[in-house]
Amino acid sequence: MESSSGIPAANNRMSSTVDIQYIKGIGPKRAEVLAKAGLATIEDLFEYFPRRYIDRRQIVPLGQLQTDGEEVTVIGKVEAAGIRYARKRFFYIVIRDETGLLEAIWFNAIEQFKRVFSVGDWVALSGKVSYYRGYQMTHPDFDKLGGAELDHTLHTGKILPLYPGSDMLRKAGINSYTFRRIFFNLLQNHLNIIKENLPEDIVSSRGFLSRRDSFRFVHDPDSGEHLDRGLARLKYEEFFFQQLLFALQRNSSKLKDPGIAFLKPSPRLEGYYKSLPFTMTAAQKKAVKEIRADMKSPHPMNRLLQGDVGSGKTLVATMAMLLAVDNGYQAALMVPTEILAEQHYFNISRALGALDITVRLLRGSTSSRERKDISVMMESEEPMIVIGTHALIQEKISFRKLGLVVVDEQHRFGVMQRASLTEKGINADVLIMTATPIPRTLALSVYGGLDVSVLDEMPPGRMPIQTVWRFDDKASDIYEFIRERVLAGEQAYIVFPLVEESEKMDLKAATESFEKLKKTEFRDIPVTLLHGRLSSEEKETVMGDFNSGRVKILVSTTVIEVGIDVKAATIMLIEHAERFGLSQLHQLRGRVGRGDKKSFCILKTPFNISETAQLRMKIMTQTTDGFKIAEEDLKLRGWGDFFGKRQSGMPAFKLANPIEDRELLNLARRDAFDLIKNDPQLRKEENEGVRFFFIERYQSKFLLSKVS
Ligand code: ADP
Ligand code: MG
């Protein structure tokens, strides 16, 4: 049987047929709960990986605890457990080892913890130690230990895996100890269902353990070295199959989807190039070259253009659009907000003024007459550039000759991938711009199906921006500083946070502050307020006034985050900076430092802010490198939150972490792409294991992504 990907179907299934309830340590009741937790088969169980390990060398005797803020692991026997009241009700246990005592306390889920711990249990606790009439841990990570393994852990230096738990599992009496017992049996009796899924030459040339050994050592490590090697192999495997999927997708789109070959030279592009008042950066030149090569080829372009705020992405995109237009096609530039659409329209039509080209702006407030006029042009196949919000694609307006779509995602990620455009019947070349750059290797994993160009160089002559963090009690000093600068001819932004959930209150806070500042510190300075509730015309007037320098201070909610480019603006004051994410703060900061004067970014916060907010402020004061900031942001928020859980196409790894394991990721990518180059349909005998596994696990994703 041949499947539609061209990959021959597997002829034997790898799945085991053993019902997990018959595995020692499980039984029918637990099997049911495990199945509910997504662990229905032996494979599922094997791939339920430890969340952490305890190594005897890391265990600190209770007599040697320190309150130095370091996280430690301790082991002891529960001597007392119960509920007490201080200001609040809490649950406590006291544990003891040969050297001392420690109390652990929990303020929530009290009843549940009461059921978990009994006097006489042996437990491992991990957390930070504090001191209050004795050593304490609040809400530590915990695990129960049992029988022989306790002996092993304490005396023979065995490394103990700790498994992720959940309320449901805990209620059924399934904890790390249970899992360790289950694995004891699985490893003895069922390891043979694990089949090699990498080609032999990769396993040997990369020095990997076999798949079986990897599972063995990950669940029952006999040494740190074996554990590390087992983990490395399994992480590699996750990357490898993800990259294999990308490689296959790429291959099949190159084979099947017809695209446009923009072969004609572009006099407008040349004209624009010659008219530039500056020289392009080497990075811009390289990106344009890459884009031109893509557009020339008959395969649809699928490229991501990454670059920090101010790195000059618009210019690159404009050149691509000119190439499309000179080839007789229409180009669309889609941006996330109307303000940004207007800004782009303003800049681009000014830059292209001498080139005899139609540039139109389409937005919510566009009159129906103009709208009709634009849509008539679009349907007439007239080559042109249309700028609008992302709604452009959803609107009923039909491009007759759409050749290029540029999507500006600004501080979001390149989430609007080709698939969502293809869904709407668009088979144009696609260029996605994002100002939240992530390191190249990461990009390869996240946007694996896209080609990536990077503007890793800023136009010369940019003044550095000095970033400071100040508490609210310094407000009058800050306003005085702004006043002085503005009186000396510079301009300033003051930004207030505004989030959907508390929009009304936020707007009120911004408005009140604005009214107050207007009457006090800035009474003799032209100040205006910009917020999302204003109509397009009002916004335009405000922006125009600030652009021309008539207004000196722009007080605003976050609407200015994107795309505004005023060279005389040198100060960015961010109120309640603790409420912004790192990427947003960085975007806001990117609004200043565009002229030839030294610029400042002031992060103003209350005195008491959360630890992670403090970290964000510190990172902002330490670097202006957008790549670095995105990476820190990713570390702080974690993979899922950073990209947004619901965003499609984002990889979910069980073990691998694209940041920490980027070398493995690189390796896996190279190997997977090489493999598909040599064996595009995985027909070779040596790739049989790869094929079986791919079909079992990834085939459906591959088909899905083809369908959409
Ligand atoms: P981005 O969209 O990447 O944040 P923009 O495209 O808005 O950046 O460019 C920021 C500013 O830098 C614009 O005013 C643009 O005209 C200017 N610019 C772009 N490329 C160069 C260059 N090579 N040299 C000097 N200035 C440049
Ligand atoms: Mg831009």
Which ligand neighbours the alpha carbon of 281 most closely? 1
Residue 17 falls inside a structural domain: no
Instruction: Look at residue 349 and tell me whether its pLDDT is greater than 60.
Output: yes
Closest Cα to atom 15 of ligand 1 = 312
Per residue in 567-605, pLDDT tens? 899 999 999 999 998 988 998 898 898 888 899 999 999
Task: Answer whether 607's CB lies under 8 Å from 653's CB.
Answer: no
Residue 552 lies in a domain: yes
Q: Which residues pair with 466 in a beta bridge?
A: 600
pLDDT band at 609 (very low <50, low <70, confident <90, very high): very high
Backbone angles phi, psi at 299, to 5 degrees: -85, 145
Confidence grade of residue 54 (pLDDT, cut at 50, 70, 90): confident
Q: Output the domain CATH number for residue 282.
A: 3.40.50.300
Q: Residue 651 has what pLDDT?
A: 56
Instruction: Please check whether residue 154 lies inside any domain of the structure.
Output: yes
Mutate-to-test residue for ligand 1 from 311, 314, 316, highest number of ligand atoms within 8 A of CB? 314
Do 514 and 479 lie in one domain? The reply is yes
From the CA of 310, the nearest ligand is 1
CATH of the domain at 74: 2.40.50.140
* Residue 303 CA to ligand 1 centre (angstroms): 20
Mutate which of 273, 275, 276, 278 for ligand 1 pocket (most atoms within 8 A of beta carbon): 278
pLDDT band at 563 (very low <50, low <70, confident <90, very high): low
Residue 268, pLDDT score: 95
| Mean pLDDT across 463-488 | 95
pLDDT for the residue numbered 648:
45
Same domain, residue pair 293 and 425: yes
| Ligand in nearest proximity to the CA of 562 | 2
Q: In the prediction, which pLDDT does 2 show?
A: 39
Is 411 found in the same domain as 341? Answer: yes
- For residues 275 and 391, membership in a common domain is answered with yes
What count of residues does the chain have?
A: 708
Backbone angles phi, psi at 255, to 5 degrees: -75, -40
Q: What is the pLDDT of residue 47?
A: 94
* Coarse DSSP helix, strand, coil percentages of the chain, rounded to the nearest 5 percent: 45, 20, 35
| Residue 98, SS3 per DSSP | coil
pLDDT of amino acid 333:
93
Residues 504 and 484 in one domain: yes
The answer on 376 and 287 residing in a single domain is yes
452 with 469, same domain: the answer is no
DSSP assigned state of 64: G
CA 287 to chain centre: 23
**CA 605, 608, 612 angle in degrees (round to 5)?**
80
Higher pLDDT, 633 or 327: 327
Each residue of 277-312: pLDDT tens digit? 999 999 999 999 999 999 999 888 889 899 888 899
One domain for residues 331 and 408? yes
Tell me 525's DSSP state: S
Q: Which of 322-326, 486-490, 510-514 has the least mean pLDDT? A: 510-514
**Which has more confidence, 658 or 394?**
658
**Has residue 527 been placed in a domain?**
yes
Select the more confidently predicted residue: 155 or 463.
Answer: 463
18 vs 205, more confident: 205
Work out the widest C-alpha separation in the chain, in whole angstroms.
86
pLDDT at residue 254, rounded to an integer: 66
When pLDDT is cut at 50, 70 and 90, the band that residue 640 belongs to is low
Confidence of residue 395 (pLDDT cuts 50, 70, 90): low
Q: At what angle do helices 582-589 and 611-622 cross, to 10 degrees?
A: 30
CA separation for the pair 306, 311 (Å, rounded): 9
Q: Are residues 589 and 705 in the same domain?
A: no
**In this predicted structure, what is the pLDDT of residue 193?**
92
Report the pLDDT value the prediction gives residue 646, as an integer from 0 to 100: 45
**Helix/strand/coil (H/E/C) assignment for every residue in 110-125:** HHHHHHHCCCCCEEEE
Q: Which residue's C-alpha comes closest to atom 25 of ligand 1?
A: 459
Asked whether residue 311 is assigned to any structural domain, the reply reads yes
Instruction: Tell which wins on pLDDT, 249 or 229.
Output: 229
Mean pLDDT of the chain: 85
What's residue 637's pLDDT? 76
Position in ligand 1 atom list of the atom nearest CA 563: 7
Residues 448 and 476 in one domain: no
Ligand nearest to the CA of 313: 1
* Ligand 1 centroid to residue 313 C-alpha, Å: 7
Q: Report the percent of the chain where pLDDT is more than 70.
A: 87
Q: What is the pLDDT of residue 14?
A: 46
In a domain, 320, yes or no: yes
Residue nearest to atom 9 of ligand 1 (CA): 312
Domain containing residue 706: 235-460+628-635+659-708
- The string of pLDDT tens digits covering residues 85-125 is 988 899 999 999 999 999 999 998 888 888 888 999 999 89
Q: Tell me which residues have their CB closer than 6 angstroms to ligand 1.
A: 278, 280-281, 284, 307, 309-315, 435, 459, 565
Q: What pLDDT is stored for residue 434 in this prediction?
A: 84
Q: What distance in Å separates the CA atoms of residue 348 and residue 340, rounded to the nearest whole number?
A: 12
More confident residue, 207 or 653: 207
Among 110, 142, 162, which residue terminates a domain? Answer: 162
- Residues 268, 346 within the same domain: yes
**pLDDT score at 613:** 94
- What token pair was written down for 502? 């508390």
Band (pLDDT 50/70/90 cuts) for residue 364 is confident
Residue of 127, 166, 122 lying closest to 144 (CA atoms): 122
Least confident of 159-168, 342-351, 387-396, 696-705: 696-705
**135, 162, 189 — which closes off a domain?**
162
Per-residue pLDDT band for 408 (boundaries 50, 70, 90) equals: confident
Residues 107 and 149 in one domain: yes
Last residue of a domain, one of 595, 623, 651: 623
The model's pTM: 0.71
Cβ density class 406-422: b for 16+ within 10 Å, e for less: bbbbbbbbbbbbbbebb
Domain annotation covers residue 477: yes
Total domain count, the chain:
3
Q: What is the pLDDT of residue 633?
A: 85
Q: Buried (b) or exposed (e) across 571-592, using 16+ Cβ within 10 A?
A: bbbbbbbbbbebbbbbbbbbbb
**Burial of 146 (C-beta count, 10 Å sphere; 0-12/13-18/19+):** middle
Give a yes or no: residue 151 inside a domain.
Answer: yes
